[in-house]
Amino acid sequence: MRLPLLLLAWALLSVGGTALAQSGADGATAEPAEPAVAAEVVATTELDAEVAEVAGPAGTERATPCPRWRRRLAPVVSLLAGPVVHGAGALTGCHRLAGRRLGLTQAAGLGALIVGGGGLVITGASRKTIAPFTYFAISGIGLFMFSWVADLYAAISDGQARGRPGPNTAYELNVGYRQVHDPQFDHDAFAHVGFGAWLGQQRLFAEVDVALDTDTQRGRFGIARRLLGGTGRGSSLELELASTWQRFGADGFATLTGELSFAGRLDLADFAPALVGSFVEGSLGIGLQMVGYQATGGGVGEEAHALLLTRLGYGVYLGETGEVVLSYDHRRDGLEGGLSTESVGAGNIGFLDLRGRGWFPGAPRWGVEGSITVGSAWIVGASILHRGSLDR
């Protein structure tokens, strides 16, 4: 297990550090705008009017004018050519920096997928090398998909999105209900309670799900240390230590899992200005799950299984009051289970999660959250949110 952990730490620290350093470098080296260039363009003809709509201050990604027809064509190009050439839509819309970087991201994703997938095939998914090759393969798929979705986002939003991370808060409470449809287990209705709080650069978190119609419970708690970034919801990198406990009383078994992972979020405005208002987030880690059975009475130490923990998500901010995230999580040991396939990879993929949240403008400390999760089970959830005092 030492080799996967070292590879994991190296990969995440390198990617996170490079992205944040690049963001800081871009901000530090940008030359101030010349007043004459930053001034509003005076429209004297119809063509000049189009130019005036898109002329931006010097030093931004698209400082030169972009014809209206190109901006209108960009989403079409992204839909048609984007799946093959990522960044084509952004380049059509005159977002050259975004186009170049999304193209490079596509190439990196393909490279990682070839290395990871090829390694799994060549080694026959050997237990000695499955961890690093699986990380490479999943990360490659994530980078490939992200670069296309981000290109479509840049083409449609044209760099004009207004979403950004909300203010910092000392704590957050989540109380809600989850409806579960699982063909393998009898539980259907769950009460959910979650809590998170910041103590300096440390974040404490805990959540509990209790079935209302059968003897099933789940709890997860842990601590995270912020390594890069502030304590808000912007670009960041954390080291997370957690434990998950599950009890399926009606089915006679329980599990206890220890987890160590790196988790991060990258505001894509730090990657390319045309992607302002969107972000990617994810985690890489390892876990050890112990299983016990009531029939034998041996406790949760009767069996032990290693887990590869990988999560990748893409989201957009809804102003400063909310966000929506679609993510893939590779773990299959939760209430969601894992997606089933009819290929040779059956049983080896995780679940999809679509989650949105928002805060009430008139009562900014109160909000709502909704989620749809699809694995071997379907879970639909709704929660009321409450947070501490807001801090910029």
Residue-level pLDDT, tens digit, the chain, 392 residues: 433 433 444 344 343 433 333 433 334 333 333 333 333 333 333 333 333 333 343 334 555 688 999 999 999 999 999 889 999 999 999 999 999 999 999 999 999 999 999 998 999 888 888 888 988 999 999 999 999 999 999 999 999 998 888 887 899 999 999 999 998 898 999 999 999 999 988 999 999 999 999 999 999 999 999 999 876 667 899 999 999 999 999 889 999 999 999 999 999 999 999 999 999 999 999 999 999 988 777 677 678 888 989 999 999 999 888 999 999 999 888 899 888 766 444 446 889 999 999 999 989 999 999 999 999 999 999 999 999 887 64
The alpha-carbon radius of gyration of the chain (Å, integer) is: 23
Rounded to whole angstroms, the Cα distance separating 149 from 102 reads 10
User: Tokens representing 143?
Assistant: 């980078």
Could you tell me where the beta strands, DSSP code E, fall in the chain? 168-169, 171-181, 189-199, 202-211, 216-228, 236-248, 253-267, 278-293, 303-318, 322-329, 351-360, 363-374, 378-387, 390-391
Q: Cα 92 from chain centroid? A: 27
Contact yes or no for 132/3 (Cβ under 8 A) = yes
Helix extents (H) in the chain: 2-29, 35-38, 46-54, 68-80, 88-92, 96-123, 130-157
Rounded to whole angstroms, the Cα distance separating 175 from 368 reads 10
Contact yes or no for 16/284 (Cβ under 8 A) = no
Helix extents (H) in 226-377: none
> Regarding the domain with residue range 168-391, which homologous superfamily does it belong to in the CATH classification?
monomeric porin ompg (2.40.160.40)
Q: Residue 193 is which amino acid?
A: V
User: Tokens representing 22?
Assistant: 């690049």
Beta bridge partners of 155: none
Phi, then psi, of 45 in degrees rounded to 5: -135, 175
What is the sign of the dihedral through the CA atoms of 221, 223, 228 and 231? positive
Can you give the residue ranges of every domain in the chain?
31-157, 168-391
Burial level of 183, CB count in 10 A (0-12/13-18/19+)?
exposed
